[in-house]
Amino acid sequence: MSNSTVSINFNLISTILSAFADSIAIVICLIFLFIILYHLIQIKYNQYQVPIDVTLILSTNILCVIIIKITVQTIHVTIPTVLQDFQINIKYKKTRFCQIRAYIFYSMVGILYWSYVLLALFRFVRIIYPKQLWFHRSSFYLYILIPAQYIFVFVLTLPLLIIFDGLHYISNEPYCSIVLTPIYPIIYGMTIIFVLPYSAMCILYLCIARKMHQMPIVGQYLRRNRRDYMVIRRMLLNIFILFIVSIPVFIIYIIESIYNRSDSLIYRVQWLLSSLSSCLFSLMLPLITVRLHDLLK
């Protein structure tokens, strides 16, 4: 069997697996959103004087981001790739709209990681500043931090499109993506999308760990703070697992950049990992959101 045949078979299999993982993630997200919505309707219908849990708002934000990310990936990558793999004769070329779709996709990936930073931030302020009640209000996150998060990531990702000109149509592939050469667009993109949010969560985690060891906590806050501490550990572990899985892709990125090559295989692996990460994030969400876990019981 020739190398080209093996490559074609892998491309087709990876596309099918990616679509399957995205489908699972979409179903899970919709189920969780329905459960949260049903809970909120119950509160309003029964006129309970219960404040909306901040973690539920942040979880809803994460679920919506995953759904938007999958939708953009399906329109931008999966559908054109399936049409190409099944040899449906459709011509693709570099357009500004193709670059904008790629920009929106990478922005949504960044927003997904930064959404976990918001979740970690809430745990952080609840432990470090338990008496600053204004920082614990759901309205503060819903109307200020979540919109600010979207604006922040979209602005930081914009240089990929207008300054570095790093989003281009990929040879032999029917979509635009971050180019491997020159290397600075991919380094900038990885820094904004992954390195900065993961570093922020690590810093929040270390601050919480230090605070809990220095300050003896008694009474009603002890159990809650320990739970918040464990939740952030789980978030870091989830993202660290994704990072470990992505190491081969980073290595291939570096090799391809050094030798000034651009193989479609690396992009197929990238989309497959993106779909698997969406599936993992949606499956693991109840483990890092105690309130959502309680609603599923």
For residues 205 and 23, which has the higher predicted lDDT (pLDDT)? 23
Segment 92-116 mean pLDDT: 89
pLDDT at residue 295 above 60? yes
pLDDT at residue 113 above 60? yes
* 262 phi, psi to nearest 5 deg: -140, 95
Confidence of residue 102 (pLDDT cuts 50, 70, 90): very high
Out of 6-10, 61-65, 205-209, which region has the weakest mean confidence (pLDDT)?
A: 6-10
| Domains along the sequence of the chain with CATH | 3-296 (1.20.1070.10)
Confidence of residue 93 (pLDDT cuts 50, 70, 90): low
Segment 132-154 mean pLDDT: 90
Residue 81 and residue 87: Cα distance in Å, rounded?
10
What is the number of other CB atoms lying within 10 angstroms of the CB of residue 189? 23
Query: What type of residue sits at position 173?
Result: E
Supply the pTM of this predicted model.
0.87
Residue 137 and residue 37: Cα distance in Å, rounded?
19
pLDDT tens for residues 156-195?
A: 999 999 988 888 888 788 888 888 777 788 889 989 988 8
pLDDT tens for residues 203-259?
A: 888 887 777 666 655 555 666 667 666 777 777 777 777 677 666 666 766 666 666
